[in-house]
Amino acid sequence: MGKTFAVRKVGKLFKNFVEINFEQVKEARVIFEKNLDPRRILMELKALLRHSIVPGETLLFFDEIQECPDAIIALRYFYEEMPDLHVIAAGSLLDFAIKKVGIPVGRVSSLYLFPLSFMEFLVAMGYTVAAAAILSQERGVLMSDTIHSLLLSLVGQYLAIGGLPEAVALWVKTNDPIGSLKVHHRIADNYRQDFEKYAKKHQIKYLDALFVQIPHLIGKQFKYSEIHGEYQKRELAPCLDLLCRANILHKVQHSTGNGAPLGAEINLEWFKVIFLDIALCQAILGLDLTSWFLDPQKAFVNQGSVVEAFVGQELLCYSMSYMKTNLYFWKRDKRGSQAEVDYLYNYKGDVLPIEAKSKDGTALKSFHLFLDEHPKSPFGIRFSSLNYSVHKKVDSRPLYAVCSIAHQDQRESLHFLIQTEE
């Protein structure tokens, strides 16, 4: 996700930046095994690294902190006894280490990272003016046809390249989609190799089956029976939870949508699943991605589940970074009257139904049914290839404009990113 890169960028704002990678500098782990006195730890780190660490002037970065669980616990004492020292920790599969040792409540602030959003992809590609246009676009006002067509073609590129930083960087540098595809396959292999780090030996085959087959099931309500092989729910369910804890997968939970919080009324047995990155998902499927470049409008029509997963990924990317965000959908399963809405979203206290349409998005029977049964929902949003429009309770926005419902702090971050790149 680019955690290390991001922290190093922040480090440039400080007089001193000190980085300790616990995978590479194993001697540093021993320092935390004696006791958790932050002053002693700091003194020995300075001696080991031969680098000055001054509270108020230095950013101290613990990378791959999962390799030193005692360092996770020590964060509390740095906060309490050395509040002037700025400390950031990052790690791979960090949730598993935290589950074992805990995290100091009220002493450590968490930030959740996701792949690059479409807006960040635009900025990386140099389309800062187009990104600014999306942020400033008013509700219901048509975007110019030229910019609208350009942005839809760029959505097609994003669906093929995805938001994994290495894949995006290679695409920006070479404009070669094959290179980015190779990155996706290598990362997929790395994820599978990591299974043994957080699963029991007998669970590896279940994790592998889920990892390979779930891409075929995106956009559908998940059923364990659809995982091919002689596997039972009791075997697969814990492994699915492991993949979610590893942030490789995200569940989209069912909610009645009667009000916020959406998680108050969920059906734990009804859920859908999306991958952390839409391009990685397609790479595992082995899809031919050329259509996203040659004719994205046609590809939108033929790949409805991909478009739906893209909108879910965008909703996560634009969520509040300081708290764990969950996705929700709505479904009514009555005989002769079935209906389903792709996502439910808490927007300024209101529950909004969201539909991701791969076609022109005119068929909105379930969408209207939800609004009829939930009068407290003021309107709903349809994301499709259509331009902006508002008709009664249907607020139609293009696929490139999911950021338009981002929380204010995320919108401010996007404005800052665009201004910095300009």
3-101 under CATH 3.40.50, yes or no: yes
Q: Name the residue with tokens 């230095």.
A: 58
According to the model, what pLDDT value does residue 419 have? 85
Specify whether the CB–CB gap between 163 and 258 falls below 8 A.
no
Q: CA–CA separation, 354 vs 380, rounded Å? A: 6
Other C-beta atoms closer than 10 Å to the C-beta of 65 total 25
Other C-beta atoms closer than 10 Å to the C-beta of 56 total 10
Residues 336-381: tens digit of each pLDDT? 678 899 999 998 889 999 999 876 656 788 999 999 999 999 999 9
What is the pTM for the complete model shown? Answer: 0.89
Residues 273-283: tens digit of each pLDDT? 999 999 999 99
Cis peptide before 38 (omega within 30 of 0): no
Residues 168-204: tens digit of each pLDDT? 999 999 998 899 999 999 999 999 999 998 889 999 9
Residue 366 token pair:
């379930």
Please report, for the chain, the start and end positions of each structural domain, with discontinuous segments joined by +: 3-101, 119-421
Can you tell me whether residue 84 is helix, strand or coil?
coil
Residues 6 or more apart from 138 whose CB is under 8 A from it? none
According to the model, what pLDDT value does residue 398 have? 95
